[in-house]
Each structure stands twice: as C-alpha cells, then as structure tokens.
Amino acid sequence: MTRFRDALAAPGLQAIAEVKRRSPSAGDLRPDADPAELAPAFALAGAAACSILVDERFGGSFDDLRAARASTGLPLLAKGFFTEEAHLLACRDAGADAALLLLRDLDDARAAALLALAAELGLETLVEAHDADELDRAVALGAPVIGINARDLSSFAIDRAAQLSLVARAPRDRVIVAESAVDSRAKGAAAELAGADAILVGSALMRASDPSAKLSDLLRRPLVKVCGLTREEDVAVAADAGADLAGFILAKESPRTAPGVLEVPETMLAVAVHVGETADSGADLVQLYRREDGHRSRDAVLLRDGEQVARVVDLPWQEDDPSHLERAAEVEGRLMLAGGLDASNVGAAIAAVHPWAVDASSRLETAPGIKDHAKVRAFVEAAR
C-alpha cells in the first residue's frame, strides 16, 4: 500500500477526499454518507487519500474509519481533535494510516510527543496550521506533511488569500496540503500554483449529487480558459458555462485589448495577457509573450507573482502549423494549449496532448473582442 505522504507527493495536484456528514459551521451536509461506499468511489475518481471524520460533532465515529478500512486500500487520514496518546492508539487500531494534529490545540512539547508516538506506531500525521506562527511551528517540529487551513476554526471565517500566501512561503521539502473551501477547479489550481501538493476537499464533495464525479472534475479535467474578453457580459457567460480562467489581453496593439482586468467570480481566475513587458493589473496570473517583429511571439509563459508556473504553446502569429499538437505533446510539466481551438477540435486536442489547460479566443467571436455566447458555451462544454 502507498504511504500517506508518498501518495500526496506524487506528480500533479493530489487530493484527500473527506467523508463528513455534518459541519459545525454548515450543519448537515450528507447525513447518510457511507464511508464504505464513498472511500472506494473516491479512489476510482483519483483521490490520493481519504479523510474520515471520527468526531461526533461532525457526525463521525471510529466505526466509520473501520468501515472505510474494510472497503479500500487508499491511505486513510483520521480527523478529529487528538491531544492524547490514547487518541493516536485508537486511530491506529481502527485502521488509520495517518492522524490529524491541530497546532491550535497543542503546544510544541505536546505536539512533539504526539509526533514521536505516531512514528513509533507507524502512523503518519497531517500537522495543521492556520497562520504564519503555526506554519513556522510545524516546520520547526519537522512535520513532513503540513496542512494549511483557510478556515479559522474559532470564527469559521474563510481567508483564501492568507492561505495561499502561507502555501507559497512554505518550504518545498515538505508536502503541503491546502484545506477548506476548495469547491471549484480554479480554486484547486490556485492552491497548486501557489505550491500546494494536494488539496483536502470535504464539504464540496458531500454537497454534490455525485461526490466522486465532483472529485474527478476538481482533479482530472483540464482547466478551460476563455481569452480575449473585453465585456462584462462575456465574462458572465464564460463563468456560467463553467470556464475556469478568464483572459484579458492588455497589449495595446491587439484588436482584443480589454479596458483592464474585469471582475471575475470566485469560481474563476483572472489572467492578464501581456506582450513584451508586464504591468501590475491585479490579475491572479500573467500570460507573457515576447515581442517579435511588432507582434507577440509564438509561445508564452504563465506567471504567478513573477514566477513561471506553466508553459503556453500557441500558434505563430496569424499562421497555422500542422505539427502544433505534436510539438505541444513534447512539453514536460504544466502545459496550456492555445491556438485555433474551438468546440470542434478541442476534444481531439485534449486526447492528443493531455494539457493542464486549454485556451481559446478568436474562434469564439462574432467580431474581435466580442464573444459569440453559443460558441463559448459549446467550447467550454467540449473541453470539460
């Protein structure tokens, strides 16, 4: 069986799928959730591990952990408020591979003692931090797997910006898990690009009509970008269709130059597209082309806070290339595939290249910068 840490450290964004019947902040989520059914379904959907709430405040028990253990070979994380040695023994005896340790509830001496006992028991840990001080403590304690929770467990407030900032500053020699409020492909991507190895998803799965299908959507499909947006109504249509990335071209010479980076809903990330040089636009990401012969270069890079996080393989300026997909398929790491895509060909392109994201613009228009809403919807549907 793959160990908990190793499963989360595998290439690409991994996920811990959580079985949670209720939440103190949200009330009942899925009162009839059966871990014996959900855990193997999550494994098939791509989960790296499964989290089981064993605390009665969440409608859980150690019997749920035993039921999950009997039904799946996935690494199992026991989640509860564990502060005593007996709690870890109970987790181990019920079949857990790892246990949650909340630094909010533990001083350094107690946390160190529990980490040492867990190691003796062959039990891995997820050490959870909520702020910069707790992150520093987790690092100093030598925690191999650190969870960074966007939710304040006292007020239940969500602060994703603070979470992503902590994820970005966490040391890369640890496995970092972004926890709470990941309910869209774009939010998962934001955590991944900040440096998270994995996400922990509970409420979004429990609320979904098909939890395993929701998990697969968060993990397995490419991100979908609609670029060349210039109008709020086109952003709204792209968002409603299910696009994850909204692209705004800020190069002055483009016929699709946007007035700026328009507001996007929280289910999307905004991408500012520049040629030659960048400027602060407030976008989540920057897509930067070189300037060649007065136009954009063929390919680009995707930047987060000035650091490259993906490559963009495009077509030459106003030209075609029969080897486009073959060239894209040779790229290692995160690939955004752009150039000549629409509903008619994006499915074949995805099958050939397996990109991290797909990007369409001119073929979704009635005029430069004016989107054909039917074409936008058809493209997003075909790409998802």
Which residues belong to the active site?
18, 20, 79, 128, 149, 179-180
Give 297: exposed, middle or buried? Use CB within 10 Å, 0-12, 13-18, 19+: middle
Q: Between the CA atoms of 131, 135, 141 and 147, what dihedral angle is there, to the nearest 10 degrees?
A: 100
CA 334 – CA 125 distance, rounded (Å): 29
CA distance 270 to 155: 29
* Separation between Cα atoms, residue 191 and residue 325, nearest integer Å: 28
Beta bridge partners of 335: 311
Task: Decide if 365 contacts 228 (C-beta within 8 A).
Answer: yes
Six-digit token string for 102: 């909340």
Query: Which H/E stretch holds residue 359?
Result: strand 357-360
Rounded CA-CA distance 261/276 in Å is 18
Q: Do the bridges between strand 269-275 and strand 285-292 make them parallel or antiparallel, or are there none, so unpaired?
A: parallel
Q: DSSP H helical segments within 170-231, as ranges?
A: 185-194, 203-207, 211-219
Tokens at 179, concatenated: 């926890």
What is the C-alpha to C-alpha distance for residues 157 and 150, in angstroms, rounded to an integer? 8
**Residue 121: burial class (beta carbons within 10 Å; 0-12, 13-18, 19+):** middle
DSSP sequence for 99-127: EEEEGGG--HHHHHHHHHHHHHHT-EEEE
Three-state SS for 184?
Answer: coil
Contact, 14 vs 48, CB < 8 A? yes
**How far, rounded to the nearest angstrom, does the alpha carbon of residue 182 sit from its chain's CA centroid?**
7
Number of H helices, E strands in the chain: 14, 20
